Structure 1
Amino acid sequence: MSESDLVAIVGFVALFGLMAIRVPVGIAMGIVGIAGFAMITGWGPALNQLAISPLRTITDYNTSLIPMFILMGVFATRSGISSELFGAGRAWLGHLRGGLALATIAACSGFAAISGSSVATAATMSKVALPEMRKAGYPDTLATGVIAGGGTLGILIPPSVVLAIYAYITEQDVGQLFIAGVIPGLIAVFMYMAVVMIMARNAAPGAKIGIAERLRALRGIWAVILLFIAIIGGIYMGVVTPTEAAAAGAFLTWVIGALRGRLGWRETRASLVEALRTAVAIYTILIGAMLFSYFLAVTQTPQKITAWLTGLDLGAYPTLALILVFFLAMGCILDAMAMIILLVPIVFPVVTQLGFDPIWFGIIVVMTVELGLITPPIGMNVFVINAVIRDAKLTTIFKGVMPFVAADIVRLIVLVALPALTLWLPRTMG
């Protein structure tokens, strides 16, 4: 075993040890990255990287869209759009068996399209949809499971902050990644709705609503629809860059909230502060990831893992399956952001060596991360719902979300087997 191999092993043990004692992942990666880099190259080069990496990360044009999409999501949350999305879904789907749960899935997909955050989607819809489903007599297993599952759409349906971070780490086109998430996102919505209809097959149908009232319910969400079309359509046709779309989306979301009287000066200031805090947390992780990447580079860890995996001669798809199983296992102990930033730089060279499309792999990785958001023991979305609705038991939520986990696994298998479903739209971009 070479010195660099020993340093790499010690580094990873130290990293997981720091995270185990609740050191924030960005700081843990930064500490291990600098210390490990110094052990190989000396403290002079290590401190030089520490001096230039934060500024390089913060001023990188490719990361500038992240705070804009975060701000857009915060404005959307504070402007009450979620209630109108749920109301529209209820008007059109409420008469079906499990109609309120179907409306929740529809509202989650709509909110995901303007928030880009799974946690925000789950937290917001917990406040909006869960009381209504309880009032209608829905069991907590179904009501909380729907919200936890639907919340995962926040990191897949574009614009997604997680996809933007994947693009930055792997140096891929973020616009293509956003467009690639559209069809898998729609498939997820329809599969979740199918799960709801199966779970609620014995439930009584809701009352029917006339067409006039249904059309009135759409008035509250026209702005959301136009906003999504403007952002994703603009990126798809090449009219705007993703960064320009992010800035325009944040501004237009604020305009929508202000015109509805929900984003006055006090709310706007609070939104800016909240977005700033979130952005600082994400940039801290990105800076730590950059420092850790230097450590990986000098120890040649990705290259050695690539050589080892390809040397097993398992074939492309069995190796991919091994990587995804590893991601699923790590999802039980790491949150979504940590999985993307820590694991993708290690396995990405393997994936490209095997000939897989990096855009397609990005979607597959995000769907795998989605599973981590709703599977024990971490299950971030489950804990978010439990924190918002205190009397919703963790065991009840995990039980309710299991059918959605099964649907996610089926969807993952389908999209791995049929890459064209993911890549068709990006290949037609203007």
Structure 2
Amino acid sequence: MGLTEARAEHHGPRAPAARTVRVIDLISDVTGVASAIGLLVMTSIVCFEVFSRYVLNEPTYWGSDIATYILVGMTFMGLAQAQKRGDHVQVELLVATLDDAWRRRVDIFANWLGLLFVLIAGWQMALFNVEEFVNDTRDWGLLSTPQWIPELPVTLGYVTFALAILGDILRHSRPHRLFAVLGPLLLLALVAALFWFGVHPPRYAGMRLDAGAIAILAVALAGVLLVNGPRMFLAVAAAAFALGLVYWFAKGSPLLLVSLLLVGTLLILLTVGVRVGLTLGIVGLLGLLFLLPSPLLSVLAERSWNSVNTFTLTAVPMFVLMGALLIRSGVTREMFDALTKWFGRTPGGVAHAAIGASAVFAAVSGSSLATAATMGKVACPEMIRRGYSERLTFGAVAAGATLGILIPPSIAMIIYGTTVGVPVTQLFLAGILPGVLLSLAFMAVIGAWSLVRPEATPAGEPYPLKDKLRGSLSVLPFVVVILVVLGSLYAGVATPTEAGGVGAAASLVICLLRGMLSPRALYAIAMETIRVTSFLLLIVVGAAIMSWVFDFLRIPRTFVSAVEAADLAPWLVMLIMAGIYVVLGMFIESISMMLMTLPVTFPIIVSLGLDPIWFGVALVIMIEIGLVTPPVGIVLFILRGVGEKVPLREIVYGVLPFIGVLLALQVLFYFVPEIVTWLPEQAK
């Protein structure tokens, strides 16, 4: 370990570095505030569009374009705030096993690799902006907006994101005293060099990197040496050069070997803790540099802009905002209490209430992780207080959390539909019956558990009908929001995207009527929404870059041809896919897993003649299974954090019967697909 690294373990950053961190944090806060304001403006525009079109019969010609531009800007401008708060998703399989000192080193190493990608992507986006300005490129809509204007926040977002990553590195390092002088000089030299190279940097014979990429790599490695010392410099340099050499020699290899290389790189980077969105981007970057006939870095900018520049994705932050507002209103706990009263003396009544409350909350939050965190705080302490076994308590809540991405509206379904071109309204309808059946099946497991192990479920308390009816009033806010969202959607008042804005507005009104929303609370909710949206859509960007490389190399087509040549039965292909998804789900967050795999799995499904809407539901269920599958299903760790004194093995044992139910129903849905497709077909 170098002297710089050793000191960093016992002291904070030196004074100049600490000042730099404070400046970077201030920049992150400013961009975060701008993004939060953008979120509220975007939601207001979407709601106004619905009002203007349906009530005034005067649809706007600018609403969707402006809302989409704001989405792109707030996504990228919010990346720095998400980095500062540690919200970007990473796989902690290896990192969690290390002591604090080694965990800090590995995290710094991962941040340097991520920073390299962000610097190159930001540089390419800046070149893209310049070309759009010079060519006076305009959109095809009625606004005819000069494209460099809405694209500029993407460049600025990458710049502030890079600064935030550097701030994280400095926060846990003790840079050399020369950093205060050489750091700014290196940064200025890099900016000057990139400016000098212009939009077409010189390329040297026999090299895959042009002068701009070489300058970025050289300055970044110099920064590693100044900030973290020679050992970290050697580690980062070795990783960068080893990856470059391996990919360089892999060019022209059989597609099977190239595919294994891409997947292997993906898994290695995830294992060492590189954030998921950046991991996808790095794999795409390596492919663009070394696996194509000639490097094509401009794809980084094009995918960064186009993958998020779609009105459908504005639903993601609005549904996140809706769930956050409902949590703030306090109605979630009251709904759980009301359901507890209705189940009363029913064996396992409180556990049934937890499943019911999870299903209702899932219908407005669209997120399994949000459902697990919320119901874990609401239901688990109450069940333990009443004498329920730890296994049943946490198993039931973990199972209920899986409903979050199945029962509509679902963020996962929105992103799936946007990615593969399937109508989101059809996906929402397709998720209703499976969601209801899963809820009932989970309750059946609880009932059987109560009969087999009565000591796990103490006798319930009787409640008079008056208390039940009075408590039912607390469910009304959820009913109102669900009716507003789904009612506006299927009545033709709002599109699937606009329904998110309408639901967020309804949730805001509920908070205000209950007196639970101060300006400070609204700001906190908006910032939380921005952080969640930014890391989710960064994953979308990274997946789009990687998918472009996959498509160019014809990897999906090759896998489809291999499956067709093998002449495997569709059920066997689905069984293999299910096994892969369950294993991946043990380590990878649901949206990340879906976007990583769809470039390969979806073409195979289409080639087998399976219904894309049916597959959307089947995919969500496979992801759900992964979320609660030991040893490291993400929902298990969320609940482990809620119940700090509960051993993880108790949560694992508790969730196993529910995993069996998920697997059994997945088989049922395969052999009786009408359960999934009946409602969408009725709506056609």
Q: Report the equivalent of 1:403.
A: 657
1:27 matched to 2:299? The reply is: no
Q: Report the equivalent of 2:382.
A: 132
User: For residue 443 of structure 2, what is the amino acid of its counterpart?
Assistant: M
User: For residue 405 of structure 2, what is the amino acid of its counterpart?
Assistant: I
1:15 matched to 2:15? The reply is: no
Q: Report the equivalent of 2:536.
A: 282
- Structure 2 portions without partners, runs of 5+: 1-249
CA offsets, 1:69-98, max 9 Å, x none? 111111122222210220111111122111
Distance in 2 between residues matched to 1:415 and 1:139, nearest whole Å: 32
1:96 matched to 2:346? The reply is: yes
3-state secondary structure, aligned to 1:200: helix
Bigger shift: residues 402-411 or 268-277: 402-411
Bigger shift: residues 416-425 or 50-59: 50-59
Kept in 2, the 8 Å contact 1:180–1:422? The answer is: yes
CA offsets, 1:49-78, max 9 Å, x none? 112222212321121111111111111222
1:391 matched to 2:645? The reply is: yes
Distance in 2 between residues matched to 1:184 and 1:246, nearest whole Å: 22
Query: After the TM superposition, which residues 311-326 of structure 1 pair with which residues of structure 2 at under 5 Å, given as runs?
Result: 311-326=565-580
Q: Report the equivalent of 1:151.
A: 401
CA offsets, 1:372-402, max 9 Å, x none? 1111122111100111221121111001111
Distance in 2 between residues matched to 1:244 and 1:12, nearest whole Å: 37
3-state secondary structure, aligned to 1:181: helix
Distance in 2 between residues matched to 1:42 and 1:257, nearest whole Å: 56
1:327 matched to 2:581? The reply is: yes
User: For residue 588 of structure 2, what is the amino acid of its counterpart?
Assistant: L
Kept in 1, the 8 Å contact 2:582–2:629? The answer is: no
1:40 matched to 2:291? The reply is: yes
Report the CA distance between 1:362 and its aligned residue: 0.6
Distance in 2 between residues matched to 1:259 and 1:117, nearest whole Å: 25
Kept in 2, the 8 Å contact 1:130–1:143? The answer is: yes
Kept in 1, the 8 Å contact 2:394–2:639? The answer is: yes
Q: Report the equivalent of 1:175.
A: 425
Report the CA distance between 1:43 and its aligned residue: 6.0
Kept in 2, the 8 Å contact 1:8–1:299? The answer is: no
| Larger RCO (CA under 8 A, 6+ residues apart) | 1
3-state secondary structure, aligned to 2:347: coil
User: For residue 671 of structure 2, what is the amino acid of its counterpart?
Assistant: A
Report the CA distance between 1:405 and its aligned residue: 0.7
Q: Report the equivalent of 1:379.
A: 633
Bigger shift: residues 377-386 or 310-319: 310-319
Report the CA distance between 1:243 and its aligned residue: 0.7
Report the CA distance between 1:4 and its aligned residue: 5.9
Distance in 1 between residues matched to 2:416 and 2:342, nearest whole Å: 36
Bigger shift: residues 46-55 or 390-399: 46-55
Report the CA distance between 1:42 and its aligned residue: 5.5
Bigger Cα Rg: 2
Give the counterpart of 2:300 among 50, 53, 64.
50
Distance in 1 between residues matched to 2:438 and 2:277, nearest whole Å: 31
Distance in 1 between residues matched to 2:401 and 2:576, nearest whole Å: 27
Distance in 2 between residues matched to 1:132 and 1:345, nearest whole Å: 43
RMSD value over aligned CA atoms?
Answer: 1.6
3-state secondary structure, aligned to 1:3: coil
User: For residue 344 of structure 2, what is the amino acid of its counterpart?
Assistant: G
Distance in 2 between residues matched to 1:195 and 1:80, nearest whole Å: 29
Kept in 2, the 8 Å contact 1:29–1:288? The answer is: yes
Query: After the TM superposition, which residues 64-103 of structure 1 pair with which residues of structure 2 at under 5 Å, given as runs?
Result: 64-103=314-353
User: For residue 469 of structure 2, what is the amino acid of its counterpart?
Assistant: L
Q: Report the equivalent of 2:616.
A: 362
Report the CA distance between 1:429 and its aligned residue: 2.0
Relative to structure 1, the CA distance from residue 233 to residue 421 in structure 2 (aligned partners, 3 Å threshold; closer, same or farther) is farther
Distance in 1 between residues matched to 2:626 and 2:284, nearest whole Å: 25
1:339 matched to 2:339? The reply is: no
1:191 matched to 2:441? The reply is: yes
Q: Report the equivalent of 1:413.
A: 667
CA offsets, 1:329-384, max 9 Å, x none? 22233221222011122110010111100010010010011111111122111100
Distance in 2 between residues matched to 1:225 and 1:74, nearest whole Å: 16
Report the CA distance between 1:302 and its aligned residue: 0.6
Distance in 2 between residues matched to 1:70 and 1:131, nearest whole Å: 25
Distance in 2 between residues matched to 1:170 and 1:343, nearest whole Å: 12
User: For residue 212 of structure 1, what is the amino acid of its counterpart?
Assistant: K
TM superposition score normalised by structure 2: 0.61
Kept in 2, the 8 Å contact 1:65–1:246? The answer is: yes
Distance in 2 between residues matched to 1:215 and 1:386, nearest whole Å: 34
CA offsets, 1:72-126, max 9 Å, x none? 1111222222102201111111221111111111111111111111111111111
Q: Report the equivalent of 1:264.
A: 518
Relative to structure 1, the CA distance from residue 313 to residue 7 in structure 2 (aligned partners, 3 Å threshold; closer, same or farther) is closer
Bigger shift: residues 236-245 or 416-425: 236-245
Report the CA distance between 1:204 and its aligned residue: 4.6
Identity rate, percent = 34
TM superposition score normalised by structure 1: 0.96
Distance in 2 between residues matched to 1:245 and 1:55, nearest whole Å: 24
Kept in 2, the 8 Å contact 1:91–1:214? The answer is: yes
Report the CA distance between 1:255 and its aligned residue: 1.2
Give the counterpart of 1:226 among 470, 480, 486.
480
Distance in 2 between residues matched to 1:377 and 1:365, nearest whole Å: 21
Kept in 2, the 8 Å contact 1:156–1:366? The answer is: yes
Count of residue pairs brought into register by the alignment: 429
Q: Report the equivalent of 2:232.
A: none
Report the CA distance between 1:239 and its aligned residue: 3.2
- Structure 1 portions without partners, runs of 5+: none
